[in-house]
Amino acid sequence: MNNRIYWKAEEFKYKKRSPDWYWIFWAGTLLITFLIYHFWKDYIFSTLIFISAIVLTIATLKKPLIKTYSLDKKSIYLDDEQREIPFSEIQSYNIDPANMKILIRSKNKMERLIQIPFEAGQNISKIDKFLSTKIKKDPDLKIPFFELLLSSLLEL
């Protein structure tokens, strides 16, 4: 018998930007690049800003993939079962309904916080109930402030 819980979610929230957004973004980028080069003669930093703007523009054009996530009695499976996180490697978890993410605090020092998205309308209470039988729930576990700030700036 298959005792798995499955759900699908976009890997990130996509926001379509108007051509005006790109014009304003690039006008600001060119202005900042010019000012840094003109006043400080720092061509390395101005080049870095210009290259970063190119990368950010390309990133805003990328559409999210819909991925499958699942749980069973011993592990959490991410990215269409390409990655498995055993419950023995998880310290605690929390559900963040405002950002629509399941937050996992890993025992792995290299990857302390794992964020698993979920979509509106999914039965998150069933996932929460299942996880609470396997892992300790930590209501203080939240997405770091600077990460929320950065993501809100990128959504502009």
The mean predicted confidence, pLDDT, of the chain is 91
- Tell me the pLDDT band of 11, cut-offs 50, 70 and 90: confident
- Tell me the pLDDT band of 79, cut-offs 50, 70 and 90: confident
Phi, psi of 106 (to 5 degrees): -90, 155
Q: Is the pLDDT of residue 120 over 90?
A: no
> Quick one: average pLDDT of 43-66?
94
Can you give the pLDDT at residue 156? 63
pTM (2 decimals)? 0.80
Which residues have CB under 8 Å from 50's CB, separation 6+?
29, 33
Can you give the pLDDT at residue 109? 85
> Quick one: average pLDDT of 133-146?
94
At CA 146, angle to CA 120 and CA 50, rounded to 5?
100
Q: Is the pLDDT of residue 1 over 50?
A: no
3-class state of residue 93 by DSSP: strand
Structure tokens at 121: 């309308």
Structure tokens at 120: 């509106």
Q: Is the pLDDT of residue 54 over 80?
A: yes
Helices (H), the chain: 19-40, 43-61, 124-134, 145-154
Structure tokens at 58: 């390309």
pLDDT tens profile 81-110: 889 999 999 999 999 999 999 999 999 888
Strands 75-78 and 83-86: antiparallel
CB atoms within 10 A of CB 40: 10
Can you give the pLDDT at residue 145? 93
**Which helix (DSSP H) or strand (DSSP E) does residue 76 occupy?**
strand 75-78
Structure tokens at 4: 């798995």
Percentage above 90 pLDDT, the chain? 75
Structure tokens at 9: 């979610």
Can you give the pLDDT at residue 2? 65
Lowest mean pLDDT segment, chosen from 68-77, 90-99, 121-130: 121-130
